[in-house]
Amino acid sequence: MYKRILVPVDGSPTSMSGLGEAIRLAALTGASIRLMHVLDAWSYTNGFESPTVYREQVLPFMRKEGARILDDASRKVLEASLAVSTVLIEKVTQRVSELVIAQAEDWGADVIVIGSHGRRGFDRAMMGSDTEQIVRLAAVPVLVVRDADDPASKRVQAPLPRAAGRARSTGAWQTAG
């Protein structure tokens, strides 16, 4: 039975889809939810900021925005009459996936629920996949949720061609958000 659900949020519709599933799961199991947000400084910088601008303008903006994201997500959990806690982490040298896994271990999470864009091909190769790393390396189950409004989540894939001596899928499958 899940009693502690860790939900990384970044404010995107995809992460909010993950939060919605976490709320439904928590309502069924009586679990508490921990929301986490990582201040990913590299996504906000372009390399032209001076250290002073970064310290006095960029970081405060990121902290304020991170707090807003956590507050908005917390409100959704509280509206469902569920227990919630939050953690805001400043990324220094670790990947977001490493920070999520560490938070799951430190807090004693029973499951991680995360929204995913489901990038494939070139996008995934160039941007990497923190979700993929979490699924591979987490010591607890990971529920990956695709955004229902994401066109990629409605993609229907044909069955794989039959290979000699191997079983094959008997039909197409569709990813549901």
pLDDT in tens, the chain (177 residues): 899 999 999 999 999 999 999 999 999 999 999 999 998 766 555 555 666 776 777 788 889 999 999 999 999 999 999 999 999 998 767 888 999 999 999 999 999 999 987 655 544 443 457 888 999 999 999 999 986 665 554 443 333 333 333 333 223 323 233
Which residues are 89's β-sheet partners?
38
Q: How far apart are CA 7 and CA 16, in angstroms?
A: 10
Domain count, the chain: 1
Retrieve residue 42's tokens: 């590299």
Residue 43 near residue 12 (C-beta atoms within 8 A)? no
**SS3 label, residue 97:** helix
The β-bridge relationship of strands 111-116 and 142-146 is parallel
Give 120's Cβ-side CA count (13 Å radius).
Answer: 5
Residue-number span of the structural domain to which 83 is assigned: 4-174
Query: For residue 6, which phi and psi values (nearest 5 degrees)?
Result: -95, 130
Whole-prediction pTM value?
0.75
What CATH number is attached to the domain comprising 15?
A: 3.40.50.620
Q: Cα dist. 58→93, 95, 96 in Å? A: 17, 19, 19
Residue 86 near residue 36 (C-beta atoms within 8 A)? yes
**SS3 label, residue 134:** helix
Q: How far apart are CA 147 and CA 116, in angstroms?
A: 7
Retrieve residue 97's tokens: 């996936």
